[in-house]
Amino acid sequence: MLGLDKVDIKKLNVNRPGLEELYEDFLHPNPNISAKASHKMVSFWPQASMERWISNLNRDDIEIRRRSVKALSLFGEDALPPMIKMFSNSKDLIVRMSCLKVLVKIAAIEKYDDFPKPLRKVIDIALVDESPQIILALVSLLRQLGSHGLPILIAMARDKNILRAKSAVTAIGEINDSNARNFLLELSEESSLDDLIKESIFFSLENFQNLELTKWNHQ
């Protein structure tokens, strides 16, 4: 993922910029300077940079946390093991949210062809977490997994927790899959549904109609 073999690293060691210098640029208020520094840190100081950014995930400064989340996603699947371990071992809400956000970004980048099995542990833990922030972050992750996350979202859509069910229904409506649409049509027929869930189903089905119209107009 990082695109550097041992020979490349030896060559880069001669003139590579210092880690602290790059980190200062990473903290720069200009987002372009910060982004360039992030890429250089990954290229020249991968291990040290990953450790530095991981340590930032429990910082009080929300801007540093956001930048660190984004930077960690640059490692792609290489960041999965430490994020999964950190999420599983931590009870801190901010840390767990940050880990999930990194995983969401990685899923968006990787566009998995199959369900990424390493994420199963994180998903199982998050499914029993009642905190609204974790619920919403989990739904975002499953949404990024597309059809692979659909079966879990379908189960969540019937949950007694209204936020979990409502956010799952909304996510299902954003997945361009006939199984998603068919489920929402089936769910809409249930008489015991909460009004908030019914409203989400209506808007989700409307979204499917818009997708079909857009597809038809481009044919």
On whether residue 3 sits in a domain, the answer given is no
Q: Check residue 149 and give its pLDDT.
A: 96
Statement: residue 4 has pLDDT above 50:
no
Give the number of domains in the chain: 2
Distance CA(128)–CA(107), nearest Å, equals 21
Domain end position, chosen among 107, 123, 145? 145
Q: How far apart are CA 132 and CA 209, in angstroms?
A: 29
The answer on 25 and 130 residing in a single domain is yes
Same domain, 180 and 87: no
Residue 191 — φ and ψ, nearest 5°? Answer: -80, -20
100, pLDDT greater than 80: yes
pLDDT given at position 9: 47
What pLDDT, on a 0 to 100 scale, did the predictor assign at position 31?
95
Residue that terminates a domain, selected from 110, 145, 180: 145
Q: What is the pLDDT of residues 105-137, one digit of tens each?
A: 999 999 888 999 999 999 999 999 999 999 999
Whether 83 contacts 99, CB under 8 Å:
yes
Give the SS3 label for residue 17: coil
Question: Which tokens sit at 153?
Answer: 């979202």
Both 161 and 115 in one domain: the answer is no
The yes-or-no verdict on residue 170 having pLDDT over 50 is yes
Q: How many CB atoms lie within 10 A of CB 216?
A: 8
Instruction: Indicate whether 141 belongs to any domain.
Output: yes
Q: What's the domain range around 199?
A: 149-219
Tell me if 1 is assigned to some domain.
no
Q: Is residue 87 located within the same domain as residue 136?
A: yes
Which of 145, 164, 187 delimits the end of a domain? 145
What is the mean pLDDT of the segment spanning 21-42? 97
The pLDDT score that the predictor gives to residue 1 is 46
